[in-house]
Amino acid sequence: MMDAKIEGEDEDYVKIYVNDHTGIEHDITIEKETGDIPYHDQDGYADDPDERSPEGMKHVGQAQQYAKYYVYRERGYDTLDVDKNPDRLLHAAIIVAALSTNAFEDHFGDLYRQLKSHNTDQEPVVHVEDDVREDTFFVYAKEIACVYPHRVPG
């Protein structure tokens, strides 16, 4: 289990210590406005990413993601990538679930028809050759834009 402690912050950055799953302490600095990490030091893995083991790469990446999440939760700065922000994902799910049947059809009907075409006689929106279809894993996606105000710490 990971844990973290915010050590301090100034106008632009938050300094945080994260202990990863193996007990290694990571000293991380996160830019408040962008979520970028300009500084990351630890003594458990090679400093050069090319020299790190796959396991070391995983732990360093997890420590960075946890630091961003922790700063977001504790201070409210928008440090998470949009697709990794649990609040944005939840808001998108709530908005889609609240759509009327007609609004859902307007926005997602093509996606629904494409998915349905895999198991029924429904004509696909995008044609995929049968020989490709048999050995391929498909991911269909739609862009969802939600107006999400920037959280103000407090």
pLDDT digits over 14-71, tens only?
999 999 999 999 999 999 999 999 999 999 999 899 999 999 999 999 999 999 999 9
State if pTM tops 0.75. Answer: no
Which residues partner with 15 through β-bridges?
A: 8, 29
Judgement on whether residues 104 and 85 belong to the same structural domain of the protein:
yes
Judgement on whether residues 152 and 85 belong to the same structural domain of the protein:
yes
Alpha-carbon gap, residue 148 to 20, rounded angstroms: 31
Q: How many domains does the chain have?
A: 2
| Of the residues 80, 107, 124, the one at which a domain ends | 80
> Where does the chain have alpha helices with state H?
54-75, 86-97, 101-116, 130-134
Domain around 125: 81-154
Alpha-carbon gap, residue 6 to 153, rounded angstroms: 14
| Of the residues 80, 114, 142, the one at which a domain ends | 80
